[in-house]
Amino acid sequence: MDKLDQEFGKHYLIEMIECDSEKIKFVESVRQTMLRAAEKSNATILKHFFHQFKPTGVSGIVVIAESHLSIHTWPEKNYAAIDIFTCGKMDIKTVLDEFKKGFNAKQATYTIIPRGF
């Protein structure tokens, strides 16, 4: 592989649409879904941090050995934006299924961006 043609990982930009607003309003339910998704995808969780906005909404990150998962929620719009960057062998289908189930999203779409140079 040429020095100028190396892929280090994949960045998934995920749109969770028509979520159950109750599932994305507060830290605890968002944290549980994020950690469960990481665990079930065989990622190695290193640390996590979540912030509760007032009155509702959450931003958070789960740092994994393979890179990270992050989330920002807009309960008033029933929407969650999720980024996953992985340089390892995560089971991305499992992650998406866990997010969709955990947030009761009616629709989930994603874009994959190869990372590297």
Catalytic residue numbers?
Answer: 67, 72, 87
Using alpha carbons, select from 84, 91, 87 the residue that is nearest to residue 9. Answer: 87
10 Å Cβ neighbour count for 41? 23
Using alpha carbons, select from 21, 3, 47 the residue that is nearest to residue 103. Answer: 21
Q: Which residues neighbour 28 within 8 Å (Cβ) at sequence distance 6 or greater?
A: none
What is the rounded distance in angstroms from the CA atom of residue 93 to the CA atom of residue 37?
A: 10
